[in-house]
Amino acid sequence: MPKVDRRIAKSQVAIKNAVTELMAEKSFDDITIQDIADRADVNRGTIYLHYTDKYDLLDKMIEEHMDNLRELCQLAAEMTFQEGNYVWYEYFERHYLFFSTMLASKGAPYFRSRFLDLVIQEFRAEVETTEGKNQGLSEDVILQFFGSAVVGAVEWWFKNGMPLSARVMAEQTGALLDRNLE
């Protein structure tokens, strides 16, 4: 994969940060390309060089975070469940503004749906319905239940200003999931 020019990378980071900051201040529908350019301190043409429009930019930002979370899941496969869970919460904490804004904005249903789909995908391999506590239960119901619990816990954490550390959230949600996935 060719190395990205540092100036291009800096511009893209500035643009993404600008969108996230603006979304924390006002509705995405009210944000213009000029607003983004002004906040990022770049020319409008620079934005159009990388993105078709503000919706393309937002889609690419969401996809980037979903890809990063998938990669973290692959890394977490080598760890204990709770340590792997901590890696996610640590990521959420580092990207607090993005996730808290996305979960609280008008675009929240779309983002929440994408996030839930990702969580369900990642839990699919963990669900056992042929023996143990979940024997005879529908895999789809179990996945929806656990996926909704994880997404709901993350939403609660952000909406309440992260009252618990990432470590505590990982330990407590991990313990709850462990109890029920075995």
pLDDT (average), residues 12-24: 93
CB 134 within 8 A of CB 127: yes
User: For domain 1-51, which CATH number applies: 1.10.10.60, 1.10.599.10, 3.30.2310.20, 1.10.800.10?
Assistant: 1.10.10.60
Domain borders along the chain are 1-51, 61-181
Vertex 126: Cα angle to 137 and 139 (nearest 5): 25
More confident call, 177 vs 92? 92
pLDDT of residue 82: 76
Per-residue pLDDT at 51 exceeds 80: yes
Calculate the average pLDDT of the chain: 89
Distance CA 109, CA 42 (A): 30
User: Which has more confidence, 148 or 7?
Assistant: 148
Model confidence at 45: pLDDT above 80: yes
Give the range among 74-78, 85-89, 92-96, 119-123 with minimum mean pLDDT. 74-78
Chain segment 62-84, per-residue pLDDT in tens: 999 999 999 998 888 788 777 88
**pLDDT band of 164, cuts 50, 70, 90:** very high
- State percent of the chain over pLDDT 70: 95
Contact call for residues 37 and 44 (beta carbons, < 8 A): yes
**Rounded to the nearest 10 degrees, what angle do helices 33-40 and 6-25 cross at?**
120
The yes-or-no verdict on residue 40 having pLDDT over 90 is yes
> What percentage of the chain carries pLDDT values higher than 90?
60
Calculate the CA dihedral of residues 22, 23, 27, 33 and round it to 10 degrees.
50
Q: Which long-range contacts (CB under 8 A, 24 or more apart) does 6-11 make?
A: 8/50, 11/40, 11/42, 11/46, 11/50
Predicted local distance difference test score (pLDDT) of residue 163: 96
The better pLDDT of the pair 163, 2 is held by 163
Q: Residue 43's pLDDT band (boundaries 50, 70, 90)?
A: very high
